[in-house]
Amino acid sequence: MSVGKFIHDGASFLIQEREPRRPLYNYLWNDECVSCFDQFGFGSTQSRADGEFRQLAFGERLLFIKEKNLFYAANRNYDRLPFTSWGCEVGLGYQKIVSEYQGLRVSFTIRLAKKGSVELHEVEIENVSKETHEFALVTYLRPFINITVHVSYGHAEKADGFEGIEYSYDAFHSPFPHSHIFYATDHKVKAYEASVRNFTGTYGDIRHPEALLKDHLGSHPVTFEGEYAGALEIPLSLRPGEKETIHFVLGLSTSHADSLQKVEKFLSKQAFQEAKEVSTHSQKEYENAFYIRSGDPYDDALLNYWLKRQIDLGKSWGRVYGKGFRDIMQDTACFVCFDSNLARQRIIDTLAYQYENGNCLRQFDPVFDHPYFDGACWIPQTVLSYLNETADTSILEEIVPYYESKKNGSILDHLEKGLEFLLNHRGKHNLVLWGGGDWNDSIDNAGIQMIGESVWLSIASVKAINDFEEILELTKKETRLSHLSEKKQELIDAIWNYGFEEDHFIYGYNDKGEKVGSSESKEGKYFLNPQSWAVLAKIVKDEKARKLLSKADESLLTPYGYMQNTDPYTTGDEGIGRLSYFYPGLYENGSVYNHGSAFMMAAQLEAGLSKEALHSWHMMRPDNPSNPNNGMEPYAIANMYIGPGCPFLAGYAPLSWVTGTAGWIYHNLTEGVYGIKPTFAGLMIRPKCDCIEKEIVIHRRFRGENYEIHLLPQSLDSLTCDGVSLKIDEPLPLTGDGSVHLVFRTIKKAVN
């Protein structure tokens, strides 16, 4: 982890390498906006206020220190000056860059307001030298105010009524209500600039802005401008040891009056305090829900904070570029153990994007309605997770409308409609139709004529039926779906008869009747997910399952995880879709797509391959020593590692955060490996014995109870709770008293 280290017991990460292979990102968000910032505090804030989908600001957020005609960007250090120190603290809901140079220590903390599309910047400057410093702080950022192509509507100048700049874009028939932006500070502004051009110079660059070559900024009003900026000059004088804190707020407003009101509201101690409390509260809640001391501080940091954070982002903002139905369902399945009320609401809200025929919209906000057919198969698992966590069966009665329909139905109806859709859309091999695609978004043309069939989707449907049957059993409900178990068996038979080939399941049949993922295929002869999911769906078990998965090891394993498929496609194939046009080794075309590796890990746990499962996880971890230059944020999970099919980028992780992997890994580790398993009857403790090598302590909140669970490798299996001996398969007692229950689970070590 050459780029830095976890601090605050894992709740923060300190980036120490200023210029790593690629920028390292942190996401901040509230209900209205979402930001992505790198180690300098550069990035974008996207707002969804009142149905908008627009930027508040993007690119640089700079703090120049200007003293005696010399200047430098304290958070960025463009010129690679010999700073005394520089570091970026990546926190839960904040980004804090601290640097020291020539006796000034500058700390820059970015947060979002608790509510609203507002960035809060806190700058603290301390004179750590023995001399007085007379200098100016000059900030710089780039608000996005040109909301249409007409630059004539835009205008910015020194604000009337607060210290700072107000930007306006009072357009005719404006597409967005937020036509104003305020950038305000609680200090006296000496001078300002409001456009990139006026700050950097027409031919200048941001590294050495021409405005800083003069005594003061030029304070030019701006209109007819392509690129707006916000630069505020604040003169400061600090005696040795003295410290000054300057606050800034940047936000959307609908008018000048609204700006005035919001500046007053957000440029307050209270607003900054509230924003801080959001972080503290998140951290506390994460810890309360599940807290582990596994002996591996890296895993602990991820399990205690950062996987949760990533899941939290997923359940709130989907994949950020849009809210995916399957993505939110999966993240929510996991999020349920942190905040079951919010998870409940999220399930209800998301099911409103299921069509009346049972299929689901691929993505909303914005809508993407290519007819993917897998949406329904993700619902039972999520509802089952909710029931196991809460035992709250009332959710099944909740009434939710269907998408683009005047009808609605209970959540039980929604579950049934979904399974009906899958079972009623089958092809000539009796397998589920591929439609516009399944989990594999990029095989988007194999079944578009509604002829092709997906073996993977058939397998996933079996798993969905399994989960649904478990829901019925737990909740003692009847289903109106007739002959469900027979139909499931028919599907399993079809999977074996037409979907299995010597040593692996194929991916499917395309519209032309060609096999995909078969040894007969020209390229893409073998895919990962049909194998892992056949195990998850319990279509193969035990030794057969292990054999099936060992074939995946042979075919797909790299030092940094499992490729999605091999060989990657090198020739575009209309009978596959966009996947086959991707450059080999990228995304679903032969990358180590971590979501798939996480499914594989789950399958390995299911098949009793616990050590292999842990190994799968260790390969994926950003600190994998076999893939040292992967470019990853150590505190997040990558979407993919580029596969060997692209030798010049192999192992590199260009994207992170925005992936369903985090949720699956969280479940795999907490429930699979450590065995802290919520069930309808109560919390069960079922650790994988061969993974527990020393005492592990876990705090788990469950239905209002708090358990302190000690997993102890010893000479026998035993379970006690508050000193009372239990059967090892027995759920922990629910006392309803809210106190902390001490649980000991001794584990008999397997003899190797």
Contact residues toward a second copy (CB under 8 A) are: 19, 21-23, 150, 152-155, 170-173, 202-203, 205, 207, 220-221, 223-224, 444-445, 572, 574, 577-578, 580-583, 586-587, 589, 642, 646, 648-649, 654
Least Å from the CB of residue 150 to a second copy? 7
Nearer to a second copy, 154 or 687 (CB): 154
User: What count of Cα atoms within 13 Å lies in the side-chain half-sphere of residue 271?
Assistant: 24
User: Considering only CA atoms, which of 303, 223, 306 is closest in space to residue 26?
Assistant: 306
| Closer residue to a second copy, CB minimum distance, 24 or 614 | 24
Q: Output 93 or 644, the one with its CB closest to a second copy.
A: 644
Closer residue to a second copy (CB): 205 or 520: 205
Q: How far is the CB of 441 from a second copy (least distance, A)?
A: 11
DSSP conformation letters of 170-221: --TT-S-S--EEEEEESS---EEEEEHHHHH-TT--TTS-GGGGSSS-----
Backbone angles phi, psi at 579, to 5 degrees: -50, -45
Shortest Cβ distance from residue 555 to a second copy (Å)? 22
Q: In whole angstroms, how large is the CA radius of gyration of the chain?
A: 28
Minimum distance, C-beta of residue 167 to a second copy, in the bound complex (Å) = 12
- CB-based contacts of 476, cutoff 8 Å, min separation 6: none
Q: Which is nearer to a second copy, 507 or 582 (CB)?
A: 582
Q: Give the shortest CB-577-to-a second copy separation in angstroms.
A: 6
Which residue, 19 or 277, has its beta carbon nearer to a second copy? 19
Could you tell me the smallest distance in angstroms from the CB atom of residue 582 to a second copy? Answer: 4
548, two tokens: 């099936």
- The nearer residue to a second copy, 574 or 729, going by C-beta atoms, is 574
- Cβ at position 637, least distance to a second copy in Å: 18
The answer to whether residues 712 and 685 touch, using CB atoms and an 8 Å cutoff, is no
Kindly list the distances between the CA atom of residue 543 and the CA atoms of 12, 390, 546, 618, in Å, as whole numbers in the listed order. 42, 34, 5, 24
Nearer to a second copy among residue 7 and residue 171 (C-beta): 171
Q: Backbone dihedral region of 9: left (phi > 0), alpha (psi from -120 to 50 degrees) or beta?
A: left
Q: Shortest gap between Cβ of 206 and a second copy (angstroms)? A: 8
- Residues β-bridged to residue 323: 364
Cβ atoms 186, 230 nearer than 8 A: no
Residues 6+ apart with CB under 8 A from 572: 580, 581
Give 648 or 694: the residue with its C-beta nearer to a second copy: 648
Q: Please, are residues 516 and 506 in contact by the beta-carbon 8 Å criterion? A: yes
Q: CA-to-CA distance for 587 and 569, rounded, in angstroms? A: 12
For a second copy, the closer of residues 172 and 502 by Cβ is 172
User: Cα torsion at 335, 336, 340, 341 (round to 10°)?
Assistant: 60
Contact call for residues 153 and 266 (beta carbons, < 8 A)? no
Three-state secondary structure along 104-166? EEEEEEEEECCCCCEEEEEEEEEECCCCCEEEEEEEEEEECCCCCCCHHHEEEEECCCCCEEE
CB of 642 to a second copy, least distance (A): 7
How many of the other CB atoms lie within 10 Å of CB of 2? Answer: 11
CB of 624 to a second copy, least distance (A): 20
CB of 424 to a second copy, least distance (A): 29
Least Å distance, CB 465 to a second copy, is 33
Q: Which is nearer to a second copy, 340 or 445 (CB)?
A: 445
Q: C-alpha angle 421/424/430, rounded to 5°? A: 130
Which CB atom, from 83 or from 581, has the smaller least distance to a second copy?
A: 581
Question: In 10 A of CB 299, how many CB atoms?
Answer: 20
